[in-house]
Amino acid sequence: MKIAVLANCQGETIAACARNMIPGLHVDFINEMDVWNGTHPASQIVADYDLIFSQKFFRGHAPAGSESKICYFPVIAFNGYHPDMTYLRACPKGKSEVEAISGPMFTYHSAIAIYSYLRGKSVEDALEMFTPQVFSRLGYYDVWAAAKADLLAEGVAVGMPLTAAFEAWTATGSFMYSFNHPKLNVLADLTRKIFEQVGLEVVSWNAEESLQDPMKNMPVWPVYPSLAERVGMRGDYAFKLPHGTLLLPRLINETYAELDKFELSTIDPLNFSPADFDEKLVAPAAQPTEIKAKNPYSTVPKVQFWRNSVASVNAAELDPVVAPRFAIRPTEKLATAGSCFAQHIARTLARSGFNYYVPESAPAGMGEEEARAKNFGTYSARFGNIYTVRQLLQLIQRAEGAFTPDDVFWTRPDGRLVDPYRPQIEPDGFADLPALVESRERHLDAVRTMIRDMEFFVFTLGLTEGWRSKYDGAVFPLAPGVAGGEVNPERYEFINFSIQEIEADLFSVIDMLQVINPKCRIILTVSPVPLIATFEHKHALTATTYSKAVLRTAADLARQAYAHVEYFPSFEIITGSYNRGAYFEDDLREVKPEGVTHVMGVFMRRYTSNGENVPANDSAEDLIAVPEKKKSLFDIVCDEEAIARF
């Protein structure tokens, strides 16, 4: 029997455990990056192996019909012991390319040390920040509960509950070397659980006793003393490396020396916000936990109360953004994709002097009207509306050569051809297949360029409903028969993605982009536009509510899981009860100019480097500088509207 283990670095240990537990078993480890980049195509893996043990990223790659071969297992990540750890990136002095910073603990850094450097503190002042009082203000003592919930949710998402295992792991001390490197006994437990699920009998039950732990030879982050005390351990500030140990003063000194090599303004921590630290460190100290306030809400900020932040605020001035994670500079390349509402952000930034990145632009000599009709500049590339996360995931896979769908073209009633994955980008269709293929190849080249060069990516989640091929799982923006192709129940099916599927797809997109382009930061939004129609036997209102609830939840889960991902609440600004429906047209779907002005005013103030210069009551004309705003700003391209043309 041949088994493939598909995972991040944790998979190598699981493969070793599997070989140890069942001697003679053929087990290969394949790094997830090699699946992403096509070195090991998913279809070939499925063909070559009898069983596949994989982390959930493979859900976005696995060919249709391969489910019976695959057993998913969770990624083990837990920062409850190590809330001060962070990654870091910046531009070296004299260069313009962002790169990951490797310091005394390789890619791991202390958030407090980084914050101290960014705020001009001396090494001595930075050392004095490592106190229980500072940890409390920064919320380090509160991380445990959220980290536990996230880890248990990861287990549930792959059908491998970890509640009992977590209690066992924590009973003997820290089960993590760092926030993403678990100890050998943890991965051995996972291996045994995998074998149990697939029905293979373990022969050697004590793999931990005979195997070397490869994670132990990587940087080991200490559990700080006051954090350790709270979980019944003894902690220290000994930062362990393969060749020795660093104590805290040396760690901070070497961190400062390394940071001096980079442009200060470009230093970007990925796991915390310096502005958030500013706010927490100047806020009044919280009462000790053993002294209980009469009302635990008596000390929370006013923005957390509905009455203060919603009911008593002028509707046009409501701003629901709290502690944005980053700001966009005018020179930074920003790309957009998603449902039709994403186009508002693109147009606003472009007309406000920002670097809206469009690697697939109209050919020289093509008029403005024709270019707009052919979707040039509507988004960063001519992908049309991307309504579902699976559609975005497959676009990236197609661009990277990891997925080649079976459907090459659809035929329209007039005999012209359309691209099934962008069915409305050519109003007149394509005359023949070579023209379509050439256009698609240029498009995917542009997508590859966009993925590698963009510094910000704004993606608007639009729908949970979609249509896909039964043959290979390819997802389409429109049902076959709407803008091309034909209704064929034997080949195509309707799908309404679940929260688990969308979360897995979204995390896969984020992981893939991070591997290809680690400097890119992501802003997620949810379209406020209701479904134009549902294919399920449900009322359109309840179907819309389900869809938006799932998408909003998935966006929040992504923000919680990734420090370089942000959520912007355009959905709440438009649909919130505070505006009493004032931002919708009479059809209760189309968003009025006033609503878009409000949304973009908040976005520009909160997420651009010159946001302080954008007043709350900017008009649409001032904000976007469009004389014919109804025609130009709101002539938004929505593939979904083709559904209603019957």
pLDDT one-digit tens code per residue, 544-567: 999 999 999 999 999 988 889 999
Pair (198, 124) in one structural domain: no
pLDDT of residue 637: 40
Q: 3-state DSSP call for residue 465? A: strand
Structure-token pair, residue 165: 């295992």
Q: Are 474 and 515 in a shared domain? A: yes
- Residue 283: pLDDT band (50, 70, 90) is low
User: Taking residues 83-105, what's their average pLDDT?
Assistant: 93
Tokens of 389: 């996360």
Asked if 518 and 595 sit in the same domain, the reply is: yes
| pLDDT at residue 153 is higher than 90 | no
Which residue, 519, 489, 451, 633, is CA-closest to 95? 519
Domain final residue, candidates 242, 263, 282: 282
- For 26-37, give the DSSP string: EEEEEEHHHHHT
Which of 234, 88, 77 lies closest to 143 in space, CA to CA?
Answer: 77
Q: Where are the beta strands (DSSP E) in 116-269?
A: 176-178, 181-182, 238-241, 244-247, 268-269
The C-alpha atoms of residue 390 and residue 211 are separated, in whole angstroms, by 39
CB neighbour list of residue 49: distance below 8 Å, 6 or more residues apart = 2, 3, 4, 28, 69
The answer to whether residue 296 is domain-embedded is: no
Q: Is 463 found in the same domain as 403?
A: yes
Residue 351 scores a pLDDT above 90: no
Asked if 206 and 241 sit in the same domain, the reply is: no
pLDDT of residue 632: 34
Residue 231 has pLDDT above 80, yes or no: yes
Is 271 part of a structural domain of the chain?
yes
- Among the candidates 211, 241, 268, a domain finishes at 211
360 and 265 housed in the same domain: no
Across 58-67, 110-119, 342-351, the highest mean pLDDT is recorded for 110-119
Three-state DSSP class for 230?
A: coil
Does residue 98 contact residue 248 with C-beta atoms inside 8 Å?
Answer: no
Residues 6+ positions from 5 with CB-CB distance below 8 Å: 11, 12, 14, 15, 18, 27, 28, 29, 30, 53, 54
In this structure, how many other beta carbons lie within 10 angstroms of the beta carbon of residue 256? 18
Please report where in the chains the tokens 């006793």 appear, as a residue: 209
Cα angle for residues 467, 471, 475 (degrees, 5° grid) = 30
Domain range for 272 is 85-142+221-282
Q: What are phi and psi of 11, to 5 degrees?
A: -65, -30
Q: CB of 416 within 8 A of CB of 480? A: no
Segment 256-280 shows an average pLDDT of 93
At 405 the pLDDT is 94
Shared domain for 137 and 147, answered yes or no, is no
Q: What is the C-alpha separation between 54 and 71, in angstroms, rounded?
A: 6
Indicate whether 310 belongs to any domain. Answer: no
Domain annotation covers residue 162? yes
Same domain, 570 and 475: yes
For residues 467 and 22, the answer to whether their CB atoms sit within 8 Å is no
For residues 33 and 64, state if they share a domain. Answer: yes
Q: Are 43 and 66 in contact (CB under 8 A)?
A: no
How does residue 346 score in pLDDT terms, banded at 50, 70 and 90?
Answer: confident
Comparing CA positions, the residue from 378, 533, 362, 400 lying closest to residue 35 is 400
Same domain, 410 and 524: yes
Pair (163, 265) in one structural domain: no
In a domain, residue 342? The reply is: yes
pLDDT at 299 over 80: no
Residue 292 in any domain: the answer is no
43's enclosing H/E stretch is: helix 42-48
Task: Please check whether residue 216 lies inside any domain of the structure.
Answer: no
Give whole-number Cα distances, 361 to 276, 303, 631, in Å.
Answer: 38, 43, 22
Residue where one domain finishes, among candidates 184, 211, 238: 211
pLDDT score of 194 more than 60: yes
DSSP-derived secondary structure for 308-346? IIIITS-GGG-----S-S--B-TTS-EEEEESTTHHHHH
Residue 624 scores a pLDDT above 70: no
The answer to whether position 31 is within a domain reads yes
| Residue 626 in this model has a pLDDT that exceeds 50 | no
- Least confident residue range of 94-103, 142-151, 495-504, 603-612: 603-612
What lies within 8 Å, CB to CB, of 378 at 6+ separation is 343, 346, 372, 384, 637
Query: How confident is the model at residue 613, as a pLDDT?
Result: 43
Q: How confident is the model at residue 294 (pLDDT cuts 50, 70, 90)?
A: low
Distance from the Cα of residue 137 to its chain's centroid: 27
On average, the pLDDT of the chain sits at 89
Identity of the amino acid at 102: S
Q: Which of 91-105, 252-266, 289-303, 414-428 is least confident?
A: 289-303
Residue 616: its pLDDT value, please? 46
Instruction: Kindly state the tokens that stand for 323.
Output: 């502690």
Element holding 88 (H helix, E strand): strand 88-90
Query: How many domains does the chain divide into?
Result: 3
> 334 forms bridges with which residues in the sheet?
356, 456
Same domain, 574 and 549: yes
SS3 115: helix
DSSP 307: I
Position 497 scores a pLDDT of: 96
Is the pLDDT score of 612 beyond 80?
no
